[in-house]
Each structure stands twice: as C-alpha cells, then as structure tokens.
Structure 1
Amino acid sequence: MTEHAVPGAWPRPDAAALARLAEVVDAVPADAVLLVDGLVACAADEVLVPAADRVRLVVLVHLPLGSADAAAAAGEQQVLSVATAVVTTSAWTRDVLLDAYALPPGLVHVARPGVDRAPLAAGSRDGGRLLCVGAVTALKGQAELVVALALVRDLTWSCVLAGALTREPALVDGLRRRLAASGLTDRVRLVGPLGGADLEEAYAAADLLVLPSLVETYGMVVTEALARGVPVLASHVGGVSEALGEAGDGPPGLLVPAGRPGALAAALRSWLNDGDLRERLRRRAVARCETLVPWSDTVDHVSAVLDGVRAG
C-alpha cells in the first residue's frame, strides 16, 4: 500500500487542492483499490465520481459531511454512491449514511477504532481530578463545560483541558475571560495539546474523563480513558455510547444531553458527592477495559474490506 498526502483545507478544498488530488488519482493504476479518507473523498465528487469507473474506490468515513453541512450532502452522496465499499468508524455513522443516502447495506462496513492498553489510573479518594481531551472548539463543547464547572464551584475539584488552542482563538479567549469572571482560573488549566508521556501522565492522574462534545462519531478519548480504568462523563451524541459500552451491571460512565450545561453540572455534582457512584463506575471502567479491542482488530476489519474489494 502506498500513502499519498494531499495538501489542502479539507473538507473545503480550493482549486489547487482538487488539482493535486486529481494528479494522485490519475496516477493510480487502472482497476487498483483506492482508499480515500472521507474528509477528502466526500468533498471531491468532481474528481472521484469520474475516477470510479477506472479504479475501485473505498471511502473511510469518520464524520458524514452532510450531517454538519447540508450543502455538502449532494456531493457526498454522489461519491459514496459510486464507491465499491465504504468503511465507517461506528455503527452510528453507518446508520446515518444508510438513512441519508439510501446506500445498499452491504456496501457500508464498520471498523471501530482500537485502543492501546495502559496501566490503570490510581484514582483519588474525592474523585475531583477532571480531564477533558480534545481541540478547544465550539463542537467539542468546552464552553458548555466551563459553564457547568461554574455551577459546581462550591465543590472540590480541578480540571485540565488538554487540546489545541489555535483552532478557534476567539473561543479560547472567551473561555479565559469566563474563567476569570467566575474565579476559576486557578482550577481550570488550558494546557494545549498533549502527546506521548505528557498525555499518559494526564490520564494517569485523572479521576474522570469529561467529553462535552456537541458532535462525536465515536469518541476515541472515551476508550483511551477506559483503557486506564478511568470512568467517563460524556454527551449522549453520535457513537459515544458505542465507545462507552457496558460492563457487568451497567455502563462505565454517565451520559447527558449535549449542549446542556445544567445537566452536565448535575452529573458532575452527583459524581463528586457520591462515593458509592464513583466506586461503582470505577469498577465498571476496569471491567470494560478488559473488553476493549486493540488496533490490530481495526486493521483486520479494514483489511478484510479491502481484500473483498480486490477479490470482487
């Protein structure tokens, strides 16, 4: 397999990005399998629809573009309709595509992201060490989280917001102003993106992962937390419930409506005030850890789809 990078502001490409994609596609041998990320493929119908007569197109869809931007739906449908196979990262995404575009069910496959196992986090007695991992953007919901944290400032907790601060700088500035006005600057830390040992350290120190996203097709940070026995408080959106899963007597976390800071605050209050709840969710998180699948399983699922396309 050969990987080709295609520069551009995908999924909103300019003419230069589309031209570069066309060059890459034209160089692919006839009847070869061409796997394209959905953020590129679903925004490039003018390039890929004609090419589908010559190559075997497979599209890997993370987030259906049409679900977030109605103007993108027509092009996305055209691309997916001519694909030989489509791979999604959750059953939720598969259902969205089948419902939106009337695709044949046998065309769309699921390959959920895997996760690497890690040492279990020790957890603290009061459960007050909160962690939110994700680029700080409107869709990731950190603004709603900050509002919720202000509603529980009478309780003992601290929160680390780990993620890129450069995507939506105006939003980040607004969050900092809100934290200052609420007197939470010393309790909520925006630490920027973390990776490697720094991210491992953040997970190891956490009692609870908080994912307040407004949109989420799966939520890899959910399984990353569970791989360390860390329970999850998340918005009930997209494929998050798939990532959370079940363990023994229930889910290893709490799900709340998206975009509802009051509901998020109520769940945080329950977590912080109820030691039995914390112990129950920690026990479930450890049990769920045992059922998580490695990345090799994801690779096997995708490889099976590609092998089927080649054989067809």
Structure 2
Amino acid sequence: MTQAVFAIPGDKDRRTGGFLYEATVLRVLNEQGFATAHLQLPDGFPDPSASDMQTALAALRGVPSEVPIILDGLVFGAIDPEGLAQVQAPIIAMIHHPLGTETGLSPARAAFLRANEAAALTHTAQVIVPSPHTAQVLTREFGADPQTITVALPGFNRPTRNSPPVDPPLILSVGLLAERKGHDVLLDALSNIRDLTWTAAICGQIHDPVVADKLTRQCRELGLCDRVTFTGELDETALRRQFEAASIFALATRYEGYGMVLSEAMLFGLPVVSCEVGAVPETVGEAGLLTPPDDPVAFAAALRRILTSSETATQLSGLSKARAETLPTWQDTAQIFQTVVRKAAL
C-alpha cells in the first residue's frame, strides 16, 4: 500500500542540493519499508508553461485522497493556489527556501512568487523545511502556521578521507553557476590574495548561461585562469576527490536555506569560508569564518587568514570535524518524513 507520493519536477537525480536531498529521502523511505511513490512532474517549474501547470495539477488531482503528497518547493512556490486547493490529497510542502527569495529576480517576479507561495501555504496540511532559519522565514514573512512546520535537517553519510590535501593548497567551491552562489565574489577575493600560493576549483553545473559567461570573462580579465578551474558538474566519485584534495572550502553565497555542501565540507574536516546569510551561520557555527555578503575584501581576508596561519587552519578543521559528528543520517531524516506524513494523513 502506498503511504505517500513524492512529487518532483523533471529529473529527480540532478546533482544539486535540493534534488539530492529529495531523491535520497525518497530512496531511504522505501528502504525503511515506508512505501513512497515517485511522481514526476513537468520540469518547467519554477517557470512553468500553461501546459506544465495543467499537467502538474492533473497529476496531483489523480493522487488518492488518503495518500499525502510531498510536493517539491520548485513546484509548490509557483503552482496555481486555486488549482492546488482542488487537490483532494493532503499536501506536504517541501520548501528548501521560498522561491521569492532567490537572488537576481526582478522586483515584480519576486513579489509575485512571495504572494503566490503565501497563498499556496493556506492549502497545506504540513510543511517540511531543511533548517530552523527557513521555518522562521516562512512564519515571519509568509504567514505560515508554525504548528504545521517541521524541520528535517539533511542527512549525511560519513566519508573516510583516503588521501592528504594537495600542495599548493586547493581552495574548493561547489555550487551551481548561478548568481546566488556568489562565485563572482569569490573570484574578486582570489584576485586579492594572488600574492599567496594556492589553486582553486569551482565545481557546479551551469544554471544560468549568462552568469556562466560572466564568470569565465571575469576570471580571464582578473588574470586568474591559470590558477582557477571551472570543473563543471562532477559525479560523486570525482567530487569526493576534490574534497579530499582541498585545504579550504569557500562559498561566497548570497543566500542558503540550509547549504548541504557546507556540511559536506565539514565532514571532510575542511575549514569553511562563507557568508553571514540565511541558514549559513546555524549550519557552519564556529567551524568557519563568515563575512558579509558581496564583500570580496572581507572574504579575501578570511581566506588569507587560513592560508597564512596553520594554527587557524588546524583549529577550524577540528571544529569542522566536531560539528560534522553531530549531523543526522539520512535514516534520521527519513524517519522525520514518516512522522510528518502520518500527521498529514490524519
């Protein structure tokens, strides 16, 4: 008997944080004997065509009324609220971060998505978020009922580091080539520490071709292309090799609803340099140096501090390892999903 349906747009196995989270939870729920069906929705979300919207709503209406639907946030934030109200099955919104908070949106688009998501929230039975920060944002800015929100932190495996960091030190950044990830800030910061010895790798698929082109041009204009590599999207094995080779993890992000990659870096004992935005402070804690967003000078100073002080690097590495030991497993996360599904089914 199907106990839940997990509705995800497009290819659920894309290697980005939100999709990795959802695909893994879906797999583990079924491994735990909690039968959860995968419902693939059109991949046009969060900018669906009229046809995409009709197809998605028809698919959701086709789910039996007694089977809760876990609905991916890319769909939930952009779905027609009136159409969602016609779905008979209980809706559990899986919101990694509200769509209207995405960097680079026009004011009109951001306002539309914020109003749309607030309206959609009135038609949910439960809400799952990956961090306390996202729960606070939904309550404070979107009028969500805090009693319906459950935090399900991402789960993590426990890797064993099999090789030492490379020399010269590798500064690793992992994230989509999108404006929100702040790779442009990282490049400017790296140009401010060119007097030091290091290499850098920026790993992530192209999300916005315009942003990707700007980053390539910026790297060339700054004269960093002999030291900075854009690897593109990497599979799990190749990405693991990058984490093992690295000495510092750097993500100059402009916002994160959780930031799974930050925790992944800490699992490898890497000192973290990131920004005081969204859920980053609660994710990283004392295991990193956090700077204001869009401040390449401050970001460069943090990188310089780690690269030039073995004491700082060792201390932050130890704090990363200690914090990583407290992270949940995917089995823990899936158990939380089971509890929420049972609530929604009542």
TM-score interval w.r.t. the shorter chain? over 0.9
Q: Helix, strand or coil for the counterpart of 2:38?
A: coil
Asked if the contact 2:132–2:151 (Cα under 8 Å) also holds between the matched residues in 1, the reply is yes
Please point out which of 134, 137, 150 is paired with 1:96: 137
| Code of the aligned partner of 1:86 | V
1:164 aligns with one of 199, 202, 205: 205
1:263 alignment partner in structure 2: 298
Is 1:34 paired with 2:34?
no
Cα deviation, residue 200, structure 1: 0.9
1:17-72, Cα deviation, whole Å (9 max, x unpaired): 11111221221112331211121022112321232xx2211111011123341211
Q: Does 1:86 align with 2:131?
A: no
Which residue of the partner structure matches residue 271 of structure 2? 231
* Distance (whole Å) between structure 2 residues aligned to residue 198 and residue 8 of structure 1: 26
| Residue in 2 that maps onto 1:243 | 283
Q: Which residue of 2 aligns with 1:143?
A: 184
Q: Matched residues in 2 for 1:78 and 1:181: separation?
A: 45
Query: Contact between 1:121 and 1:230, CA under 8 Å: does it hold in 2?
Result: no
Q: CA deviation at 1:160?
A: 0.4
Shift of the alpha carbon at 1:198?
0.5
**Alignment partner, residue 242 of structure 2:** 202
Aligned to 1:47: 83
Amino acid at match of 2:161: L
Partners of 1:8 and 1:14 within 8 A in 2: no
The number of aligned residues is 303
C-alpha distance in 1 between matches for 2:238 and 2:44: 29
The Cα shift of 1:146 comes to 0.4
SS at match of 1:209: strand
SS in structure 2 opposite 1:36? strand
Q: TM-score, normalised by structure 2?
A: 0.83
AA in 2 matched with 1:266: A
C-alpha deviation, 1:126, in angstroms: 7.3
Residue pair 2:287, 2:319 contacting (<8 A) in 1 also: yes
Offset at residue 98 of structure 1 (A): 0.2
Q: Which letter maps to 1:210?
A: A
Go from structure 1 to structure 2 and tell me whether the alpha carbon gap of 1:222 and 1:114 turns closer, same or farther (over 3 Å shift).
same
Whether contact under 8 Å (1:93, 1:217) holds in the other structure is: yes
Cα deviation for residue 101 of structure 1 reads 2.4
Between 88-97 and 32-41, report the one with greater CA deviation. Answer: 32-41
Q: Does 1:25 align with 2:60?
A: yes
CA contact (8 A) 1:33 1:309 kept: yes
CA distance in 1, matches of 2:313, 2:132: 29
2:330 is aligned with 1:295: yes
In 1, distance between residues paired with 2:78 and 2:208? Answer: 22
Counterpart residue number, 1:248: none
Whether the aligned pair in 1 keeps the contact of 2:165 and 2:244 (CA below 8 Å) is no
Q: 2:219 aligns with which of 171, 179, 182?
A: 179
Change (3 A) 1:77 1:229: same
**What corresponds to 1:108 in structure 2?**
149
| Residues 275-299 of structure 1: per-residue CA shift (max 9 Å, x gap) | 1101111111222222221111111
Identity of aligned residues (%): 33
